[in-house]
Chains A and B, each alone.
Chain A
Amino acid sequence: MLRSFSPLPRARLRLPSVRNFSISPSRQELSPQHAIYVSNSVNPYFNLSLEDWLFRHKNHQEPLLLLYRNDPCVVIGRNQNPWKEVNMTALKARSIPFIRRRSGGGTVYHDLGNTNYSIHLSRLTFDRHATAELVRRAISTLGVDVRVNDRNDICVGNEKVSGSAYKIVNQRAYHHGTMLISTKLDTLGALLRTDTETMVTKGVDSVRSPVCNLRQFSSTIDHETFVDAVVSEFRREYRVDEPIRYVNDGEGAEETDYIRNGMAELPSWDWAFGQTPEFTYSIRPRFEWGEVTIEIRSKHGIILETRATSGHSGAGLEELGRRLEGHKYGFVEEAIVKDVVDRDSRCRDVWEALAGAMETYNYQP
């Protein structure tokens, strides 16, 4: 099988010591046929769309590596429930978005202290363990002794420093993961600690593990040294001898149709919330006048049914429940139920408890 060569870099790009800004003039067509990409953009919508675009457009047989960092955001897996996985109150307090990615797996927190790697391979040669080992080897060259656990996560002792997820299509597959270098772990904890234990959801639950930063084990590890180490190991493993293709904001990459559509889709309600699998949330708020049991059933982000029962008369509550059906979970305007809650103070109490339970933070970039 012949290896196809990407075009030789133009003369003005041949200065490998210069990092983090490209010398070329601002408008250079981004080709998906390079082998090693490092994104200097910290826009999570852009980076995820770039990753997907490279995934779909690179030659099927050739390996590709992408490394990037994001501004603070929470990234949930393709088939996860954001209300179950993410603390909406904490998100709102910090104005941090959550984003649903296209690969499976669990929920992670990204900030500038976390570097993401993404290895794309032909589906034939894709092996989760081998790619995890590649990253492990890269880190050990930086002087930290890490191991790969049985879920193919990279750990130091019992604490995770990286989480992984995969996407597999017809001819191609990728393994991407996070790497905690110097992430704010307290923020991570606050955002990923939820109080929705009574939410029962289909879809994928995150497997929670204690985490730590690589910086705890070596003062010389940072984003740049990690990127260098992974690029070297990737070059060695797949015998790729190409220079790094840096991708920057403002170069026009975000105008590629596919990437632009991706950046528009990711924050849209249809993708972010509308892909939520079916779930049921039961709460039992207590009021001075008594206790109410509320069960909300939702699928694809739409409320299918709300059942509110209490020892006291339930006529108003039934009406309240009916009003909510068909509306977007977490996005119900008070106007929908205004007359019911105005009539009956108990219904108002119940409505407020419901609205609180359904709290959602919808970030629009």
Chain B
Amino acid sequence: MLSLRRRPLQLLRGRPGRGSSFHSSAIVWASRKVLQKFKLADIGEGITECEVIKWNVKAQSPVQAFDQLCEVQSDKASVEITSPFDGVVKELLVQEGEVAKVGQGLCLIEVDEESLDDSSKRFTEPVSPPPHQVQEAVQSKAFETPPPSSEVSQEAPQPRERRPHPLDPSHPPDAATILNSFSKNVLAKPAVRHTARELGIDLNSLAPGSGRDGRIEKEDLERYLADERKDSAGSPSSSAQQAKESGDVVVELGRTRYGMWKAMEKSLEIPHFGYSTTLDITSLHSLLPRLNACIPPHYLPIPPPSPYTSVNPSSIHPAPSPPLVPPSHQFTKLTYLPLFLKTLSKAMSEWPLFRASISPRPLSAPQAKPTLTIRPSADISIALSTPTGLYTPTLQRVDAHTVFSLAAQLKHLSHLGRQTPCGLTPAEMPKRGGTITVSNVGAIGAGDFAAPVLVPGGGVAIVAIGRAKWVWDVDRGDGQGERRLKVGVSWSADHRVVEGAELAAFVECWRSWVEVPERLIGEAI
């Protein structure tokens, strides 16, 4: 609801009585009134709805940030929900005793537009965080964040894994650096926090502020900036001099690395979320030697002697001759990667979402609503690390290839990549790209989990496969435990397109193929 000014000619922007004056800082604060729909956020743990037990506010009553709005109940948990903004509760959308679904609006609050963050326009209040480190970053920003799982995932451990406790000195630093600016009871409005974050100001160093209850206000930020500018004005060139003196070398980025730079900058547009799990590949492990024993002769560099001595299949009619396979495609040993790709293509066949890519916006209408293009086959890109740089060639129509054929293609790609200059051509790296990217970092190091990054054109999801290792699985063997071969897989997906639950379900679908490879026999044509 916009509050209309008396003089329609002077429609927007500017507090009453201020006309069009500006702050001395670069930030201009508008103060339109906006109606925010405050939604019930995802609680996690499979809960999809809560009952509203009690409203602590009435319609048309003012409310301050951190005031208790209502209490809801979900199975065994009673949850208090506090207001994210200062404003006026205009309407209660769910009455006491009624059930609100996750994502449904709880109430409408009218706020000054300035007290909103860009991202909080889609605000939802997390009711109870999933055991997810991403949620930590969200929670610590209290009331200004977008839906819980859409922030850049710093680390994405599997849900039941022991995370280091916040009090643990070896707590991962990335979470701490985010938490640092926002934890420890530093009070500040969402817009203030946002500005501080953009300017790189640590709110802890400003606390307590000049606002109510020691809240940090924007004047505090401005004062801090003004002070800083005074300090730094004295020494503009000292930093440059220092670099020269200490023997540092300045290097320009090569073409491929600069390409990676640009692609990764573009990847910042993509809201990532992560999901990791381990796959049990003991069945695949026992399958490998048997598959290696029956690699079709045309893929082998030295074909084995023909098993037929007296009779042969071509006696009455020429048997179909195997395709000609160039030497660069030939291999002697199968690895896990073609099997992972094949099973992934099976899962992709079941899930059209993961065969989708974001359609390029037409030049004529750049602001048109985005669409997804779903292709009938599974195209998977592979991250290839070569002496000349990082490339992502694409394997087309993985669902139409056999495991051996995929192994041959991979062999060929790595052969091309090893050339200097790089032998990869647009034929291997079509503009269309794959819809899922696979990065086999386990080949490089004994990694367990990673946080891969999507690039535009790289599909809707990327998975990093770690190194397989033998572990003792206590869940198997009727409680006695069993030695199993497990590999960590870390997914990152584009949250504009993929939901957390969808990715999790897709990964479980993939798991059902990887952990039971015999299914491939049943589905073989």
Contacts and interface: CB of A to CB of B under 8 A. Distances in A.
A125 B66 contact: no
B55 to A, nearest CB: 13
A1 B53 contact: no
A239 interface: yes
B114 interface: no
A121 to B, nearest CB: 10
Given A165-B77, A167-B78, A277-B97, A125 B165 contact: yes
Nearest to B168: A239
A78 B331 CA distance: 66
A104 B82 contact: no
Nearest to A60: B185
Contacts of B168: 239
Nearest to A104: B78
Given A167-B77, A168-B77, A278-B97, A124 B82 contact: no
A167 B54 CA distance: 15
A204 B71 CA distance: 14
A77 B51 CA distance: 14
Interface string A121-150: 011111111100000000000000000000
B145 to A, nearest CB: 13
Contacts of B51: 79, 202-204
A61 interface: yes
Contacts of A128: 45
B171 interface: yes
Contacts of B176: 1
A277 B71 CA distance: 13
B76 A106 contact: yes
A170 B128 contact: no
A169 interface: yes
B43 to A, nearest CB: 9
B23 to A, nearest CB: 32
Interface in A66-120: 77-79, 102-106
Nearest to A165: B76
A173 B75 contact: no
B58 to A, nearest CB: 16
B127 interface: yes
Interface in A313-352: none
A217 interface: no
A269 interface: no
Contact of B165 (A102, A239, A278): A239
A237 to B, nearest CB: 8
B136 A124 contact: yes
Nearest to B139: A124
B377 interface: no
Given A1-B183, A78-B53, A124-B140, A202 B97 contact: yes
B80 A170 contact: yes
Interface in A167-215: 167-170, 173, 202-204
Most buried by A among B45, B77, B136, B171: B77
A245 B79 CA distance: 28
Contact-residue size bin, chain B (C-beta under 8 Å from the other chain): 35 or more
B79 A204 contact: no
Nearest to A130: B131
A124 B76 contact: no
A164 interface: yes
B76 A1 contact: no
Interface in A262-306: 275, 277-278, 299
Contacts of B163: 125
B77 A166 contact: yes
Most buried by A among B78, B80, B185: B78
B80 A204 contact: no
Interface string B91-128: 00000010000000000000000000000000000011
Nearest to A299: B97
Contacts of B75: 104-105, 151, 204
Nearest to B50: A104
Nearest to B127: A168
B128 A123 contact: yes
B396 interface: no
A238 B166 CA distance: 10
A1 B80 contact: no
Interface string A47-76: 000000000000011100000000000000
Contacts of A125: 163, 165-166
Given A79-B53, A204-B73, A122 B97 contact: no
Nearest to A4: B167
B267 interface: no
Nearest to B125: A170
Interface in B129-154: 129, 131, 135-136, 139-140
A1 B166 contact: yes
A60 B165 CA distance: 14
A170 B185 CA distance: 12
B73 A78 contact: yes
A170 B45 contact: no
A238 B167 contact: yes
A10 interface: no
B440 interface: no
Contact of B129 (A124, A152, A203): A124
A165 B185 CA distance: 27
A168 B78 contact: yes
A3 interface: yes
B213 to A, nearest CB: 14
Interface of B: 45, 51, 53-54, 66, 71, 73-80, 82, 97, 127-129, 131, 135-136, 139-140, 160, 163, 165-168, 171, 176, 179, 183, 185
Given A1-B183, A104-B73, A126-B129, 5 more contacts: A60-B185, A77-B76, A106-B76, A124-B136, A168-B79
16 contacts: A78-B71, A105-B75, A123-B129, A123-B139, A165-B76, A166-B76, A166-B77, A166-B78, A167-B80, A168-B78, A169-B82, A173-B128, A204-B51, A239-B167, A239-B168, A277-B53
Interface of A: 1, 3, 60-62, 77-79, 102-106, 122-130, 151-152, 164-170, 173, 202-204, 238-239, 275, 277-278, 299
The 9 closest A-B pairs by CB, nearest first: A104-B78, A105-B76, A166-B77, A169-B80, A168-B79, A127-B131, A78-B78, A79-B73, A3-B167
